[in-house]
Structure 1
Amino acid sequence: MIIFVKKRPFPVRTMIEERLSKRLLPRHPLQQTLAFEISKGKAGYKGEKNVDYYLDFLPGDKFRIIPDLRLQRKKYFYQIDSLLICQYFLLPLEIKNVRGILRFDRNLDQLIQVYKGEKKRITNPIHQAKRHRTQLRQWLTLHQFPLIPIEYFFVNSNDETIIEIPDDLTEVIKKICNSEVLLEKIYKLEREYVEPKLTNKELNKLTKQLLKEDTPLEFNVKKYYSYNELDLIKGVFCPACSTTIMDWKNRAWECPDCHLRSHTAHIDALLDHYYLISPFITNLQCREFLRLESSDTVRHHLITLGLEKQGSNRNRTYNLASLINQYNKFGLHR
């Protein structure tokens, strides 16, 4: 089995958009846009996981893979869906889960998607992968790593997609494959590159440096969608019923519909506040957001979570950033 040096994360943007959609009223004007973006984000993630399935058959003593690698070049970032690493070559993969027909236009060097009778131009993933190769070369030079061949592929992860390429575009054909034949493409590269360019020590150093500089996306949902905080539904959602607001009864959260009781359901609600409103919260703001009457109960919740705090008395604010670790601790993450 191949060595995945980190777990492929669920898209941050999609996760935050799901939280926003859940907090907005069903008929809010943003819901249609959010539904489209969430569907697109999940489709992309599903496609990447599909490719991960095939990559997992590669031998772990030869290959390593870093999924969802995001590196900085000057003031900009670029994201590689999957980076395959071995002693002989590097292989960035651009993965797309696009429905319908993908038609390569020879004359204008562009990619056309045909779906449900509609045609539109989409970003050419081969150009993206090629740019990633250039950016990786610059990164290797900057960090003084030995020169190593860098190949690239566009991998189609949708089993129903039809790709149409003119026969004379041989270079394009070489750089495209469906997910089920990706392993054959990689094995072919193995046969072409027989001279190791990196020692095991250099391979380990390269992997560590890439992981060190991997920078997860930070998505400012308030800036992107410009919604009003007053539009957000307040309260603690039931983990089982999803949309039912729970009541605080007998020192626990209780769902009025399914009667589930929880001592930690408010953690997910506070994460909504972190992502959708602000990473900082006061006792009063917490009472209003969780729909609690007692300031003592709120103080108990915030103190129990061990949040960093600033100020005193009524001006005291709590930093919700450490909730990310609490979220993982209680097993509430995706």
Structure 2
Amino acid sequence: MIQRFHVFIPYLLYVCKNGIFIEKEECVIDIPRKFPKSIPIYRRILQRLPIYHPTYIEVEKRIKAIEAGFHGECYVDNFLKQVPFPKSYAILKDLHIKIDSNSYLQMDTLILTKKYIALLEIKNIRGKIAFQKNPDQLIREFDGEVTPFKCPEQQITRQTKKLQVLLKELKIDLPIKKIIVLAYSKTHVVLPPKYTTIVMGCDISIYMDDYNQLPDVLSTTKFNQLSRQLAAKSFEYIPPSIAQTYPVKLADVKTGLICPICKRKVSGQLKCPTCKVGKLLLQQQAVEDWFYLMKDSITNRECVYFLELKDKHAGNYLLNKLPLQPVNNHKLRHYVMSHDR
């Protein structure tokens, strides 16, 4: 359920010479952006909600927003490929790093070189936008409708401060550049942010070229070390469950194993009779549905009810088979998503 991308990085950082692994002078890390795992999960959740449920349309909106964000990020990724970066650089995508017990560094794109770190907050927004102050909000006007959003300038400022804390812990002193990137030029900026650079995706190379003229600050060893550390600390982001925001009751939800392909309920069979999707995969997906839909933990009793298992022993077996982390013992035991597998 949890996959880290950093497992690929050591092979990019070292080459073998005469049987000895040595650091490469030139190191390029740019792993393709992954399709958001949350999209197929939210689509499965739609199969568990009645179409007339007030939350149904909110889940649909969430899917569209995530899809739009992903397409905008991929579009900007294409322009980043055209940037003549220094010999050693890393483009890390969808970072989610724990800073402390209540704080996380979460970035669409982080660019690391020996010269600087650049944080890119990428937005795919249609219509006219204004960065309003007091209070800080992004106001969007589209098709005659005015909609307020969280302020991207405040978002990237918060993430910059968190990155500064992390770099201080790692004893790294490196300039941080923060940029709000509008994926498509169809966005009309009526009032720009006051303290943060904002650019169109097609123009990102101009700003990167200027940053790439800066002098080196890190050695090759330090750069490779920091690349590994940032990637190794990142883990999959699990959003707050839908039930934490919207009125979803367990009684409203369709339980059991549901095939994600044909949408039929699979009961008492080793696989979907139509699509041949295996039972274990269906069970794993159902547990994911629970975390995204109901709450960030699951008990044996909840597992048995939601997956329609035969008894608590089947629930205990499954919960210990999946990549979950047990918390507490005996009657108070529950399971959470694991970041260590």
SS at match of 1:152: strand
Deviation at 1:252, TM superposition (A): 3.6
Deviations 1:167-196 (A, max 9, x none): xx9x76x811111121222112213x1x21
**Correspondence list, 1:82-93, <5 A:** 82-93=109-120
Change (3 A) 1:304 1:19: closer
Q: Distance in 1 between matches of 2:287 and 2:207?
A: 47
Structure number with higher helix proportion: 1
Match of 1:94 in 2: 121
> Which amino acid counterpart does residue 264 of structure 2 have in structure 1?
T
* Residue in structure 2 matched with residue 183 of structure 1 by the alignment: 205
Q: 8 Å contact 1:280–1:320 — kept in the other structure?
A: no
Q: How big is each residue's C-alpha offset from its partner over 1:241-268, in whole Å with a ceiling of 9 and x where there is no partner? A: 2x3223545x5431xxxx3333345332
Unaligned runs of 5+ in 1: 326-334
Distance 1:25 1:127 in 2: 37
Matched, 1:151 2:177: yes
Q: CA deviation at 1:105?
A: 5.6
Q: Does 1:272 align with 2:289?
A: yes
- Structure 2: gaps (5+ residues): 1-26
- Work out whether residues 64 and 85 of structure 1, in 8 Å CA contact, stay in contact via their aligned partners in 2: yes
- The 3-state SS of whatever aligns with 2:110 is strand
Relative to the length of structure 2, the TM-score reads 0.71
Number of the residue aligned with 1:26: 51
d(CA) in 2 for partners of 1:93, 1:60: 18
> How far off is 1:274 after superposition?
5.2
CA–CA distance in 1 between the matches of 2:35 and 2:169?
27
Cα offset for 1:135? Answer: 3.4
In structure 2, what residue type is equivalent to 1:200?
T
Structural mapping, 1:164-243, within 5 Å? 164-165=190-191, 175-191=197-213, 193=214, 195-221=215-241, 222-241=243-262, 243=263
Contact 1:302 1:318 in 2 (8 A): no
The alpha carbon displacement at 1:71 in A equals 3.6
Q: Distance in 2 between matches of 1:217 and 1:300?
A: 25
In the alignment, the residues of structure 2 paired with residue 6 and residue 214 of structure 1 have an alpha-carbon distance, to the nearest angstrom, of 16
Contact 1:89 1:148 in 2 (8 A): yes
Residue type matched to 1:156 in 2?
Answer: L
Counterpart residue number, 2:276: 261
Q: Which has the larger radius of gyration?
A: 1
Distance 1:178 1:49 in 2: 14
Secondary structure of residue in 1 paired with 2:58: helix
Aligned length: 301
Kept after mapping to 1: 8 A contact 2:141/2:147: yes
Once the 2 structures are TM-superposed, how far is the Cα of residue 234 of structure 1 from its aligned partner?
2.3
1:44 Cα deviation after fit: 1.9
Equivalence map 1:118-129=2 (5 Å)? 118-129=145-156
In angstroms, what is the RMSD of aligned CA positions? 4.0
TM-score by length of 1: 0.72
For residues 199-248 of structure 1, give each alpha carbon's deviation from its aligned partner in whole angstroms, at most 9, with x where no partner exists: 1110111122223433543434143335211211123323322x322354
> Distance in 1 between the 2:137 and 2:236 partners?
30
| SS across alignment from 1:209 | helix
Match of 2:96 in 1: 70
